[in-house]
């Protein structure tokens, strides 16, 4: 994104404020673990047990410290982009080119390696589309939240989008509008998603 031309300081500050608490929490945990682990390693230098424990604790702390920056930056970028789309986005229509469901089966086990319950599928619903904006052709993808709408979609269907004027690569599907457009259509059978699967909410 051309952030120099498109930065909305009030929206950016709101996204930062919404994420700063979790950032400082993760950073604090990481620094505490790093300090404790480093102290144990230093005080117990020469004793393998203390060195291994302290080094492992320090590595965990270092990981949390680095991850706090990466995760927070990713989260701020996502929520800032969504806020920009709500405020500055324009509505355009795209065309569905493909839809795919990525599913993984999750099963928990007890200490004796016996399955707990029946397990569950976790699926993400990806739609791919093309659209025209200012005389140029763009392609995009979006993870949907509603299985019912996803099942009704067919290749070639119009897809209502919201596109950022200054950066058309920032866009999202208007899911509520799409659901209304597909009212009365029966879903494809069989579904690409197993029954009773949980739909993951991806950014």
In percent, the amount of the chain with pLDDT more than 70 equals 96
Q: Does pLDDT of 43 surpass 50?
A: yes
CB neighbour list of residue 47: distance below 8 Å, 6 or more residues apart: none
> In the structure encoding, which two tokens stand for residue 125, read together?
């619903």
Average pLDDT (123-131) is: 95
Give the mean pLDDT of the chain. 86
pLDDT the model gives residue 202: 60
Q: How far is CA 18 from CA 3, 75, 77, 89, 92, in A?
A: 20, 10, 12, 21, 29
What is the per-residue burial (b if ≥16 Cβ within 10 Å, else e) of 9-43? eebbeebeeebeeebeebbeebeebbebbbebbee
32: enclosing H helix or E strand: helix 9-43
Q: How far is CA 13 from CA 18, 20, 82, 86, in A?
A: 9, 10, 14, 16
pLDDT the model gives residue 151: 94
Q: Does pLDDT of 4 surpass 50?
A: no
Q: Does pLDDT of 8 surpass 80?
A: no
Burial of 171 per CB tally in 10 Å (0-12, 13-18, 19+):
buried
> In the structure encoding, which two tokens stand for residue 111, read together?
């200490």
Q: Does pLDDT of 139 surpass 90?
A: yes
Q: Is residue 169 within 8 Å of 97, Cβ to Cβ?
A: no
Average pLDDT (43-49) is: 78
Average pLDDT (69-91) is: 84
Greater confidence (170 vs 1) lies with 170
Greater confidence (187 vs 44) lies with 187
């Amino acid at each position: 994104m051309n952030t120099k031309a498109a930065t909305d300081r009030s929206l950016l500050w709101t996204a930062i404020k919404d994420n700063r608490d979790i950032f400082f929490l993760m950073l604090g945990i990481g620094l505490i673990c790093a300090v404790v682990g480093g102290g144990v390693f230093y005080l117990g230098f020469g004793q393998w047990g203390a060195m291994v424990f302290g080094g492992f604790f320090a590595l965990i702390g270092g990981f949390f410290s680095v991850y706090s920056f990466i995760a927070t930056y990713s989260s701020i970028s996502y929520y800032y982009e969504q806020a920009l789309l709500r405020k500055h986005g324009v509505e355009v229509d795209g065309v569905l080119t493909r839809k795919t469901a990525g599913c993984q089966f999750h099963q928990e086990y007890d200490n004796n390696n016996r399955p707990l319950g029946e397990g569950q599928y976790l699926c993400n619903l990806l739609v791919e589309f093309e659209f025209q904006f200012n005389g140029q052709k763009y392609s995009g993808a979006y993870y949907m939240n509603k299985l019912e709408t996803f099942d009704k979609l067919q290749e070639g269907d119009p897809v209502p989008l919201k596109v950022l004027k200054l950066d058309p690569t920032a866009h999202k599907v208007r899911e509520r509008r799409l659901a209304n457009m597909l009212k009365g259509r029966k879903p494809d059978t069989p579904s690409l998603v197993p029954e009773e699967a949980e739909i993951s909410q991806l950014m």
